[in-house]
A and B are shown apart, each in its own frame.
Chain A
Amino acid sequence: MEEDYGSSPLREESFTTISGEELDPLYTPEDIEDLDYQNGLGYPGRYPFTRGVHPSMYRGRLWTMRQFAGFGSVEDTNRRYKFLLEKGTTGLSVAFDMPTIMGKDSDDPLSEGEVGRCGVAVDSLEDMEMLFSGIPLRDITTSMTINGPASILLAYYLCVGEKQGASFSELGGTIQNDILKEYIAQKSWIFPPRPSMRIITDILAFCSAEVPRWNTISISGYHIREAGSTALQELAFTLADGFAYVEAGIEAGLDVDSFAPRLSFFFNSHSDFFEEIAKYRAARRIWARRMRERYGARDPRSQMLRFHTQTAGCSLTAQQPENNIVRTAFQAMAAVLGGTQSLHTNSMDETLALPTEKAVEIALRTQQLIAYESGVTNVIDPLAGSYFVEAMTDRMEEQAEEYFRRIEELGGVLAAIDEGFFQREIADAAYRYQREIERGEKVVVGVNRLQNEYDTLNIDLLKIDPAVERKQRERLQRLRSKRSSSRVTDTLDALREGARGDANLMPLILSCARAYCSEGEIIGSLKEVFGVYKETAIF
């Protein structure tokens, strides 16, 4: 074989995945001679779930087409949700603005200039009611990208459902609520790690009893990848975070099978097609094995890694933005071949602004074209048995186990965060990749190769109405003047009291929500007890 390859010139000096993993020219039966079908792959819907979490996968039900959306006011976003539903979206996903994400009201001094720009501004239950106006929550599931204030937005959502006449047990959805990756990558923390973990275990306990259809955490690798990690780091760090939540739940006295079935995941789908597919399959197998072997999970649902995927925002370019439609298409294809339960496809204009209707329609159609025209949904886990894909899956699992050992040696995820371990790994990987691009070792079409001399933008961009901020502040002021201030004070006092002790905070937060306490007020009360997190910045 070497002679064949030696005699013809090669295009590159080395062939690696986008993450830098060396690839052989060819994979053969030798590469998977240790593959044990029964124990290593199994069948879809059965331990260790390598081939998928459901027996019939997409033959039974397609993934949820769940487009992340939100901008401006709740009215603007409500309109966008209705547009998306009309175009065939099958689940909702809320993008909040930076103030909401950081637990600040729209009239907080630090919110100036930020209201409604990255997502929708939500200050209170009143806003939440308007956000879902005309959308029966009983009939749809909603994912909310919110972390520090996740308990509050969950409370608001449950109250909206309640006002619509639904019981908590009828409501389904997800809160991202993955604080560990905030310290590591997304950086939208509020409180320090320990009180944040307490809030999360409170949510696990509350939901397992009261909101059984709710995914309590969306344990995320997306943001870790966006921050610059490799595929392997995304896999390993995400699962390590997952294990940390499982341990926290158990330590809080919960039975693993009472909360683990509702832990969910969220991965990136980046450009290296096969690396991504191997990553998803490895993730399922690793999780299943550890849940059963280390944490004693008996319920198969505790062993199943269910995940949402978003195509890679960081792979998109501002130059020749129409190319992003194509990038998104093959990234989405990888996620589908990897067995995702839910998918968001990016719009082509997202390197420049939040998506226009036209751009998001194309993104949604991309999923629908894959679903209805490509044929890949006809067969479950079609790539299984591929010498390359199985070898890659095995390799990623082995390498992830290496990382788990290192994290354990550091004393676990929280200790590793304190030490800056993840942050350094990610910053190094991000810098390395940038150097590769600048040296031309990695190609980005339109940026370091195949550039156009003049890149005129022929697409319209979404603009946020500057009046949104003023109107939102006025709305909040009106709310404050018309609600019962004694109820606000009482519920916030009770919350503070509960936070000082070990009461489950969810019922107390629900009371604050019903009293129309603003998000900033609720967070403010919790800050008094828990303090705030301060990062030691490294680069």
Chain B
Amino acid sequence: MAKQERILIAKPGLDGHDRGAKVVARALSNAGYEVIYSGLHQNPEQIAETAIQEDVGAVGLSILSGAHMTLFPRVMELLMEKGGEDIIIFGGGIIPEEEIVALKDLGVKEIFGPGTNTSEIISFLETEFSQ
């Protein structure tokens, strides 16, 4: 039996808007992935720790507070340090176009903004995991 991919959906920082993160978590779970939802107000250290401990294949960060340029790089830096460099990083929230480009330059694979269909996220992960 193929190893079931595990995904961490996380809410870093002080942002409490969790509607999208929960919908995505449920959609991924219904699509057959094993989903861990971090809950709110996680700092980057907690997220990186959880990702490694739970042996996830991907981490999705949801940030609507505008703090994404601080939080994404920090989480990725910590994952690198802890040996999680192969973990696929993606995310969503309120992130302006030019900063999506900047995040991708840093290694974020994709950002799914407002209006995304959950099937897009599922296809994306299928593609990424098959590589």
Contact = CB atoms under 8 A, between A and B. Distances in A.
Interface of A: 98-99, 101-102, 104, 109-114, 117-118, 186-188, 226-228, 314, 317-319, 351-353, 427, 430-431, 434, 438, 444, 446-448, 457, 461, 464, 535, 537-539
Nearest to A109: B43
Contacts of A117: 65-67
Given A353-B94, A539-B22, A98 B65 contact: yes
Nearest to A532: B41
B67 A318 contact: no
B115 A319 contact: yes
A104 B14 CA distance: 10
B119 A427 contact: no
A538 B25 CA distance: 10
Contacts of B40: 187, 535, 537
A102 B38 contact: no
Closest 8 A-B residue pairs measured CB to CB? A113-B70, A187-B16, A537-B39, A117-B66, A113-B67, A98-B14, A539-B22, A539-B25
Contact of A114 (B17, B19, B66): B66
12 contacts: A101-B14, A110-B43, A118-B15, A118-B65, A227-B18, A318-B113, A351-B114, A430-B19, A447-B115, A448-B117, A537-B39, A539-B9
A448 B120 CA distance: 13
Interface residues on chain B, size class: 35 or more
A112 B69 CA distance: 11
B81 interface: no
Interface in B72-127: 94, 96-97, 113-115, 117-119
Contact of B114 (A113, A318, A537): A318
Contact of B13 (A98, A351, A448): A98
Contact of B97 (A186, A457, A535): A457
B101 to A, nearest CB: 14
Given A113-B69, A113-B70, A430-B22, A535 B39 contact: yes
A447 B71 CA distance: 28
A50 B13 CA distance: 43
Nearest to A188: B16
Interface of B: 9, 13-19, 21-23, 25-27, 29, 35, 37-41, 43, 65-67, 69-71, 94, 96-97, 113-115, 117-119
Contacts of A538: 22, 37
Given A98-B13, A111-B14, A118 B26 contact: no
B26 A110 contact: no
A464 B39 CA distance: 27
A118 B43 CA distance: 18
B28 to A, nearest CB: 10
Nearest to B12: A113
Given A102-B14, A318-B113, 8 more contacts: A112-B67, A113-B70, A317-B115, A318-B114, A352-B96, A430-B19, A430-B22, A537-B39
A431 B25 CA distance: 10
Given A438-B118, A461-B96, A113 B25 contact: no
A463 B16 CA distance: 21
A350 to B, nearest CB: 9
Given A352-B94, A427-B26, A539-B22, A444 B15 contact: no
Nearest to A114: B67
A519 to B, nearest CB: 14
A120 to B, nearest CB: 13
A352 B13 CA distance: 19
Contacts of A537: 37-40
Nearest to A536: B39
Given A226-B19, A535-B40, A110 B13 contact: yes
A464 B67 CA distance: 11
Contact of A353 (B21, B96, B115): B96
B117 A438 contact: yes
Nearest to A537: B39
Contact of B19 (A102, A109, A228, A448): A228
Contacts of B27: 431, 434
A34 B96 CA distance: 54
A112 B65 CA distance: 12
A114 B14 contact: yes
A113 B37 contact: no
A351 B71 contact: no
